[in-house]
Amino acid sequence: MIESKFWDEIWNITMLSLRVSGTAVLVGALIGVPIGTVLGFRQFKGKQALTRFVDIMLKSVINTFMGLPPVVVGLVVYLLFTASGPFGWLGLLYTPTAMIITQLIM
């Protein structure tokens, strides 16, 4: 009986992890692919300036975020979603949605 509960819990944890990671990948792709497609294939006014901005500013920011330990990102998201934080009113602390947001940031 105890062994069965143990494996049920392991199964639930594994499925939650896969669901959260899969959703984060899907949302990231839904955001990134259209933006990349527009920047890569469309011609529009200000494209050169936007491309320069992306090259200079966003690469620096992205590289900075890539250097952050996951614990730091988790703590920042925790502080944002805790009851006294700016997004505490959403009630997302310790939910899969908060985990997805954290993975999108990372």
Pairwise CA distance, residues 87 & 77, whole Å? 10
Pairwise CA distance, residues 2 & 6, whole Å? 6
Q: pLDDT exceeding 70 applies to what percent of the chain?
A: 99
Q: Where are the domains of the chain?
A: 2-105
| pLDDT at residue number 1 | 64
Look-up of token digits 């936007």? 50
Could you tell me the two tokens for 39?
Answer: 């920047």
pLDDT digits (tens, 9 = 90+) for 56-94: 877 777 777 777 788 888 898 899 999 999 999 999 999
| Residue 48 confidence class, pLDDT cut points 50, 70, 90 | confident
pLDDT digits (tens, 9 = 90+) for 5-43: 888 999 999 999 999 999 999 999 999 899 889 888 888
| pLDDT at residue number 66 | 74
pTM: 0.74
Pairwise CA distance, residues 105 & 66, whole Å? 10
Pairwise CA distance, residues 33 & 98, whole Å? 23
